[in-house]
Amino acid sequence: MTHLIETFTSVFYQSAIKPQRVVVAFSGGVDSRVLLELAAQYTKAHRIDCQAIHVHHGLSDNADQWAEQCQAWCDDLSVPLAVERVSLDVHSGESIEKLARDARYNAFKSHLRQGDMLVTGQHIDDQVETFLLALKRGSGPKGLSSMAKVMPFSGAYIVRPMLSVTRAEIEVFASCMGLTWVEDESNQDVRFDRNFIRHQVTPVLTERWPSFRESVSRSAQLCAEQEMLLDELLASHLQRALGDDQSLSIEVLSEQSALLRARLLRMWLGNCQQAMPSQKQLQLIWEEVACAQHDANPKLVLNDVEVRRFNQKLYLVRETKDLSGWQGEIAVGGRLVLPDGLGGVSLHAGRFESELGRRVQTFSLPDQNAVLRVTFNPEGLSAHPVGRGHSRKLKKLFQEYQVPSWLRRRTPILMDGDRVIAVLGLFVDKNYDGQDCEALWSN
């Protein structure tokens, strides 16, 4: 028992991270049941908060009973429990294992705060399974690195304090402590790849080579170290290609060998918190997006984002709503909240000191009591920017002002009737040139 407690505690000391709160991923199985017990002891001894999260997938007829049992165990330890109910799109084409895992981690994200540590119950047997699954997929060193003991996650950290412990050791600890736990019947279903490895592959390998688990763990660690070294050696190359807006220079990429270029693309995607692409996807990013015809507007869907090209740079663009039909009214002295997370627009009489994170235009109105309109649809609109020789269609002006195609219907246009006052963040129309009013677009 002491061995497991010391193992749990040592991970926190070695990481040099002092958690403000420990959040336990609590399924109710034996691994997380032991994890909850260890976390409760640790947080009580160190006088920090402990929180448990149980994700209710709804896949088993016993799911409600498991949630109730988890609540009872948390109540016994005076640990608050949040039960998150999720629904899975089982017809999406993705495996149920991946859907459930993604749903769990999305649920965890919603509860994490800065400085938290999310502790999960994976052990060395899980590490072997993860390694073999990566091997089956043909993964490179990054995939074979498997699971790290400590890694950043959603402004907090994921910590796997039992990654060096076997499943058998956890079960012995649970029995000695007199703990009970739930048994998920799906864990016996060898149609799932992880269960197949657990029940039919790993036992054969460990019987032949008793130290097989430790060898796999060591290989995963060596792969992780090689990955960290490569990232360190190539950091300067990435910085040279990286723009202030997190775009990636196609010109810099084209100077590199195919191997280095692929590595820089992976590092870029990793920095943007994206899953690692396959070799085929990397090839498509380069050939069909970066190297597309000059007048093309290429894009490649990658998980939940699009890889786009503009001005000889690659961008990651998240899926957004079509705002063409949206409009709102605003008067001087008022503020209008924009849709889809685009912030808000405020209008003031006179000039004010601008604040960080705001885009400001000054202009004049014939009637400061007029009710103005904000739209995102440039269709059919023209404007004559201050300092320009003549009026042009907004479509052409967006091109001249180097606005990427995916932002052209996400940029607020301030209207006076059917006339453009300003395109916020870009220009003011010549007919409204002046200093009487100020428009602030804040994110």
Question: What residue numbers does the annotated binding site for ATP cover?
Answer: 27-32
Find the helix packing angle between 212-241 and 124-137, rounded to 10°.
60
Q: Residue 115 contacts by C-beta under 8 Å, 6 or more apart in sequence?
A: 19, 20, 21, 156
Q: What are phi and psi of 379, to 5 degrees?
A: -55, 125
Give the distance from CA 153 to its chain's centroid: 8
**Residue 329 — left, alpha, or beta (φ > 0 → left; ψ -120 to 50 → alpha)?**
beta
Contact 193, 136 (CB under 8 A): yes
Residues of the chain by 3-state class (helix, strand, coil), percent to 5: 40, 20, 35
Query: What is the maximal distance between C-alpha atoms in the chain?
Result: 87
Q: Which residue has the tokens 């390998």?
A: 205
End-to-end CA distance of the chain: 52
CA gyration radius, the chain: 28
Strands 156-159 and 116-119: parallel
Contact 94, 101 (CB under 8 A): no
Pick the closest to residue 79 from 108, 111, 51, 113 (CA basis): 51
Integer Cα distance of 409 and 413 in angstroms: 9
Annotated binding site: 27-32
**What amino acid is encoded at 71 in this protein?**
Q
Contact 54, 81 (CB under 8 A): yes
